Structure 1
Amino acid sequence: MADTEPQVAVEPAEPQSRHVVYCGVCTLPPEYCEYGGTVKKCQEWLAKNHPEMYQRIWSTEALTAATSSLSLEAQKRAEKDAKKKAAKAEAAEKKEADKIAHSIVTIKRIERNKRKYVTAVSGLEAFGLDLKKVAKDFGKKFATGSSVTKVPSGGEEIVVQGDVSDEIEEFLLEKYKDIPEDNIELVDDKKAKKAAAAAAGGG
């Protein structure tokens, strides 16, 4: 029987931790950004935050190398697909931007009874805000009750105890930079009622 060499115990290799980068726009790994709907924004984010990775994925050389192994027909198809995807993503971004540009946040002061007021805020969800989280922020900021309630038209609004309409406007502009000042409307429910009554009486 042949001699066998004694077995040497091999130390298990230390597991190497691998730092995975996730896109700050679509949250996918940058290699997969093209499958999300925000390629252009993803590219800008990657170029700014991880230039070397941007070069590796999106530089002309990288894109040429990726398609050079394809047949001419497949290359044309890939190019067409890429253009289609980019156009689709751009259209989606534009639609979203238009929606935001035309969305109004209404801050309404409502008189409940004998100088008791509440302030209702609606339209925040159009800016991608989580109403429960914002209601919590309002409650903390103004040390008062604040809750999300359903409105008859089907949406939701935040109702804050007390007359804090001006303070809420300031707070929104300071904390949520995505909301343009021109898109915030202050309404006094009492005045609105009077105006409606006057209009009805005059008609």
Structure 2
Amino acid sequence: MSEIYPKRVTYCEVCSFPPEFCEYGASINQCVTSLKQKNPELFSKLYPNQSTSTTDEKSNIPIENLNIQDKDLLKKQQKEELKQQKELEKKQNSKIIIKRIERNKKKHIISIIGLEVFNIDSKKLSKTFASKFATGTSVVKNSEKKDEILIQGDVSDEAKEYIESLLKKQPGLEDVKVEQIDDKKKVKKANPIIGAK
């Protein structure tokens, strides 16, 4: 009988799958690069026909000289790079709007929209704002069926700073616009009283 012992499984630092399944994840290029740097033995075991230069973006090896497995891997890497580039461009062209809505002369509500593009969880951010600003917050669906965070109180500047700090942590999103809008109530003019002096 063979001994039963717990098997040690290596996990990818990028996608958290075992390296054998990285090709099914969304970031195969980064996974292969990371595996090549961190665990060259496993890399050569999983990709025996792949030299170190074929994973580089600036590879000069013609596609015809690669075997079928390497061609598939290269195609997946190129698709993934294009997809990530399109997502980054979409994020860079989007903007977050912080609207300050006047309820009456002294009370305000802050409305934040446009977070769903940046993969920011509105409910978690709402809870963070509630504890950070010690105020009431809620997440509602607006007319476009998108999440909108409502914060009681005039904290638009603080909310803007916090959201900008979140975006700076994501690579490539440092220049995303966070726009502040002031939405004031229209004051109704009183009708003049006839006969008043």
Q: Give me the whole-angstrom Cα distance separating, in 1, the residues matched to 2:33 and 2:68.
A: 25
Q: How many residue pairs end up in the alignment?
A: 171
> C-alpha offsets along residues 24-50 of structure 1, whole Å, 9 cap, x if unaligned?
4322112211222211222344456xx
AA matched with 1:64: P
CA-CA distance at 1:101 after TM superposition: 0.9
Q: TM-score, normalised by structure 2?
A: 0.73
Q: Alignment partner for residue 27 of structure 2, among 10, 34, 38?
A: 38
Consecutive unaligned residues in structure 1, runs of 5 or more: 1-9, 68-72, 195-203
CA-CA distance at 1:190 after TM superposition: 2.3
Percent pairwise identity:
40
Asked if structure 2 preserves the Cα contact closer than 8 Å seen for 1:37 and 1:92, the reply is no
AA matched with 2:17: L
CA-CA distance at 1:161 after TM superposition: 0.6
Q: Give me the whole-angstrom Cα distance separating, in 1, the residues matched to 2:73 and 2:12.
A: 19
Structure 2 residue matching 1:27: 3-state secondary structure: coil
AA matched with 1:22: Y
Aligned twin of 2:54:
none
> C-alpha offsets along residues 139-168 of structure 1, whole Å, 9 cap, x if unaligned?
111011111111112211111111101001
Structure with greater Cα Rg: 1
Distance 1:124 1:47, change over 3 A: farther
Consecutive unaligned residues in structure 2, runs of 5 or more: 52-63, 188-197
Aligned twin of 2:195:
none
Q: Alignment partner for residue 47 of structure 2, among 59, 63, 66?
A: 63
Q: Give me the whole-angstrom Cα distance separating, in 1, the residues matched to 2:9 and 2:48.
A: 25
Q: Give me the whole-angstrom Cα distance separating, in 1, the residues matched to 2:162 and 2:26.
A: 31
| Structure 2 residue 130 is the aligned partner of structure 1 residue 146 | no
Q: TM-score, normalised by structure 1?
A: 0.71
Cα RMSD of the aligned pairs, angstroms, is 3.0
Q: Give me the whole-angstrom Cα distance separating, in 2, the residues matched to 1:79 and 1:108.
A: 51
Pairs within 5 Å for 1:52-201: 53=39, 55-59=40-44, 63-65=47-49, 76-176=67-167, 177-178=169-170, 179-190=173-184
Asked if structure 1 preserves the Cα contact closer than 8 Å seen for 2:35 and 2:43, the reply is no
> C-alpha offsets along residues 8-28 of structure 1, whole Å, 9 cap, x if unaligned?
xx9x96x64444333343221
Off by >6 Å, runs of 4+ in structure 1: none
Q: Give me the whole-angstrom Cα distance separating, in 2, the residues matched to 1:44 and 1:63.
A: 12
Asked if structure 1 preserves the Cα contact closer than 8 Å seen for 2:35 and 2:42, the reply is no
Distance 1:44 1:103, change over 3 A: farther
Asked if structure 1 preserves the Cα contact closer than 8 Å seen for 2:49 and 2:70, the reply is no
CA-CA distance at 1:105 after TM superposition: 1.1
| Higher percent of residues as helix | 1
